[in-house]
């Protein structure tokens, strides 16, 4: 069964026609996991027994002629910051290594209603703070296209699981690019939805004004299919709005009108943009122009401001969110003796990794009374400037095409700055969508000469996911899916 070459809709149709059973599909994916996982390291927790039990139940329903939801029987993975009742949710941290939630996140409840088969919880950077899934307290994750390189982060486990065939789709979370960046580095389609379109209830907070959950898939239509299932309003999430504009999957088949795509020339002329990345993106612009779309230059001057504002604001919010992990309420507690302050100190020192500690310290610094006006307040003002700039730009175009990252995946154990960039500045292309709450979609633009995936980013006004999918599907239909990652040999 070559399930890796099949899209979700094709898999669903095959299950309904009983070309193969849900159990056979699930076992095939676990066979890939057994073969690849020692190298890839995509998961923290596997739920094999529950997955096979769910597959058997669905097979009985199919035999009995029941009409099932679109995603029924699809083997998927969840980033390990999405709460799952009865299944540990670690956030890839020693602090929560044994934490088992008594509740489900709203997005997982929706996928359970869709009768999805959960394979397990995917590895991630600790508390979603990182760029390469190397800050996990358990193990690093490797890029399926080249296991000597990173998969990106913080949703690197979710991306690697789908790219390696260890899952048919996955959910990740995106604070500053944590879905789009690993999707780009692993050759996937990854969506950061409009802020509020997908509920965050039950998803561990990093920076609540920035966090969003979204799908990671092999194809554009798969991505739209998953978004249709999770873009439902959650009445218990005050930020949740849900989708009221019809099916995203159906929107792909609409005939586009005269569309204008913005081209930020400064992004493409950046000194540290890899020449192969630039070449693939310029070819994408020429493709859209050949489809009758108008390409117009747009001036985006707030890229550097976005970078500074994001790291100040996210660290401040992260500092506040991390206060609950103190060795008393829940989570890891140091066995060392001492008073209350000692418990706090030892538990947090032993339970948290260096990247998390660094961001806590930065957040504490910018929120202190003497520094607040010069840092946090100015970062909030810079965020407003970014929002205003994009509102003006979108008066002249329907979507903007940019890089996702300046380079393809870099080697494990190194940092982007060793390749001419910075681990923080490499996020700069993804940060504006996070600060403004706009939707942004990463899709594969092609492969480098070394066989590494390169992604391109399409950004649109709020709630224009359907338009982004339409544009992405045009490109995907014309160029085909990029080749799957090589199989890991046992």
Confidence category of residue 416, pLDDT binned at 50, 70, 90: low
236 classed as catalytic: no
The CATH number that domain 3-256+464-479 falls under is: 3.90.1300.10
> Is residue 419 over pLDDT 60?
no
Give the separation between CA 469 and CA 305, rounded to whole angstroms.
28
pLDDT at position 489 is 75
The closest alpha carbon to 405, from 300, 310, 277, belongs to 277
Cβ neighbours, 10 Å, residue 354: 9
Percent of the chain with pLDDT over 90: 91
Whether the per-residue pLDDT at 31 is higher than 60: the answer is yes
pLDDT of 481 > 80? The answer is yes
384 is catalytic: no
pLDDT band per the 50, 70, 90 thresholds, residue 117: very high
Mean pLDDT of the chain: 95
Q: Which residue has the tokens 């630039």?
A: 278
> Comparing 44-48, 272-276, 326-330, 417-421, which segment has the lowest mean pLDDT?
417-421
Q: What pLDDT is stored for residue 423 in this prediction?
A: 59
Is residue 117 a contact partner of residue 3, using CB atoms and an 8 Å limit?
A: no
- The 10 Å Cβ neighbour count of residue 147 is 19
| Cβ 446 vs Cβ 280: under 8 Å | yes
Residues 6+ apart with CB under 8 A from 83: 89, 101, 103, 104, 105, 108, 202, 203, 204
Contact 77, 41 (CB under 8 A): no
Q: Are 106 and 147 in contact (CB under 8 A)?
A: no
Average pLDDT over residues 20-45: 98
Task: Tell me the per-residue pLDDT of 224-235, one tens digit each, with 9 for 90 and over.
Answer: 999 999 999 999
Given the residues 178, 240, 314, 347, select the one marked as catalytic: 178
* Number of C-beta neighbours around residue 84 at 10 A: 22
Give the model's pLDDT for residue 141: 98
Note if 164 is an active site residue. Answer: no
294: β partners:
260
When computed from its CA atoms, the radius of gyration of the chain, rounded to whole angstroms, is 21
pTM: 0.97
Q: CA-CA distance, 7 to 292, in Å (whole number)? A: 28
First to last CA, the chain: 19
Q: How far apart are alpha carbons 460 and 174 in whole angstroms? A: 16
What confidence tens digit (pLDDT) does each residue in 327-379 have?
998 899 999 988 999 999 999 999 999 999 999 999 999 999 999 999 999 99
SS (H, E, C) the chain: CCHHHCCHHHHHHHHHCCCCCHHHHHHHHHHHHHHHHHHHCCEEEECHHHHHHHHHHHHHHHHCCCCCCCCCCCEEEEECCECECCECCCCCCHHHCCCCCCCCCHHHHHHHHCCCEEEEEECCCHHHCCCCCCCCCCCCCCECCECCECCCCCCHHHHHHHHCCCCCEEEEEECCCCCHHHHHHCCCEEEECCCCCCCCCCECCCCCCCCEEEEEECCHHHHHHHHHHHCCCCCCCCCCCCCCCCCHHHHCCCCCCCCEEEECHHHHCCCCCCHHHHHHHHHHHHHHHHCCCEEEECCCCCHHHHHHHHHHHHHHHHHHHHHHCCCCCCCCCCCCCCCHHHHHHHHHHHHCCHHHHHHHHHHHHHHCCCCCCCCHHHHHHHHHHHHHHHHHHCCCCCEEEEECCCCCCCECCCCHHHHCCCCCHHHCCCHHHHHHCCCEEEEEEEECCCCCEEEEEEEECCCCHHHHHHHHHHHHHHHCCCCCCCCCCC
Which of 132, 154, 164, 240 is catalytic? The answer is 154
User: Which of the four pLDDT bands, split at 50, 70 and 90, describes residue 186?
Assistant: very high
pLDDT (mean) for 34-47: 98
79, 121, 132, 219: the catalytic one is 79
- Strand 453-460 relative to strand 117-122: parallel, antiparallel, unpaired? unpaired
Whose tokens are 């103190």? That residue is: 326
Q: What is the pLDDT of residues 266-315, one digit of tens each?
A: 888 888 899 999 999 999 999 999 999 999 999 999 998 999 999 999 99
Adjacency order of strands within the sheet including 75-79: 43-46, 117-122, 75-79, 169-174, 212-217, 189-192, 440-447, 453-460, 399-403, 260-263, 294-297
């Amino acid at each position: 069964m070559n399930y890796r070459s099949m899209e979700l809709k094709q898999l669903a149709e095959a299950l309904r026609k009983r070309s193969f059973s849900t159990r056979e599909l699930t076992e095939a994916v676990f066979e890939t996991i057994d073969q690849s996982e020692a190298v890839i390291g995509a998961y923290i927790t596997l739920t094999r027994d529950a997955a096979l039990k769910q597959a058997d139940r669905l097979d009985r329903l199919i035999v009995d002629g029941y009409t099932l939801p679109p995603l029924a029987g699809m083997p998927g993975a969840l980033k390990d910051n999405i709460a799952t009742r009865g299944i540990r949710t670690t956030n890839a941290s020693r602090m929560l290594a044994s934490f088992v939630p008594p509740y489900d996140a709203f997005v997982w409840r929706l996928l359970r209603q869709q009768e999805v088969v959960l394979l397990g919880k995917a590895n991630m950077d600790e508390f979603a703070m990182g760029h390469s899934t190397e800050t996990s307290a358990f193990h690093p994750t490797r890029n399926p296209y080249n296991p000597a390189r990173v998969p990106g982060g913080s949703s690197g486990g979710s991306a690697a699981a789908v790219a390696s065939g260890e899952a048919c789709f996955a959910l990740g979370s995106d604070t500053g690019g944590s879905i789009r960046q690993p999707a780009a580095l692993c050759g996937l389609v990854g969506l950061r939805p409009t802020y509020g379109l997908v509920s965050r209830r039950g998803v561990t907070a990093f920076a609540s004004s920035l966090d969003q959950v979204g799908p990671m898939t092999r194809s554009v239509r798969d991505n739209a299919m998953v978004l249709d299932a999770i873009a439902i309003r959650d009445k218990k999430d005050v930020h949740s709005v849900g989708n009221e504009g019809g099916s995203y999957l159906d929107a792909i088949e609409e005939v586009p009108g005269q569309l204008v795509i913005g081209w930020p020339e400064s992004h493409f002329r950046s000194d540290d943009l890899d020449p192969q990345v630039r070449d693939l993106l310029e070819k994408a612009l020429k493709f859209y122009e050949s489809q009758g779309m108008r390409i117009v230059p747009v001036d985006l001057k707030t890229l550097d401001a976005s970078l500074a504002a994001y790291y100040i604001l996210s660290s401040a919010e992260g500092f506040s969110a991390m206060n609950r992990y103190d060795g008393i309420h829940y989570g890891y507690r140091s066995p060392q003796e001492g008073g209350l302050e000692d418990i706090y100190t030892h538990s947090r020192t032993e339970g948290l990794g260096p990247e998390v500690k660094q961001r806590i310290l930065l957040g504490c610094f910018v929120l202190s009374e003497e520094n607040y006006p010069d840092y946090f307040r100015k970062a909030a003002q810079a965020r407003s400037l970014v929002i205003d700039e994009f509102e003006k730009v979108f008066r002249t175009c329907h979507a903007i095409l940019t890089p996702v990252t300046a380079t393809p995946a870099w080697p494990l154990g190194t940092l982007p700055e060793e390749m001419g960039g910075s681990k923080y500045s490499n996020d700069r292309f993804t940060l504006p969508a996070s600060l403004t709450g706009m939707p942004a979609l990463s899709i594969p633009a092609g492969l480098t000469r070394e066989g590494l995936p390169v992604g391109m980013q399409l950004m649109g006004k709020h709630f224009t996911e359907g338009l982004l999918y339409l544009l992405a599907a045009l490109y995907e239909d014309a160029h085909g899916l990029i080749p799957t990652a090589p199989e890991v040999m046992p």
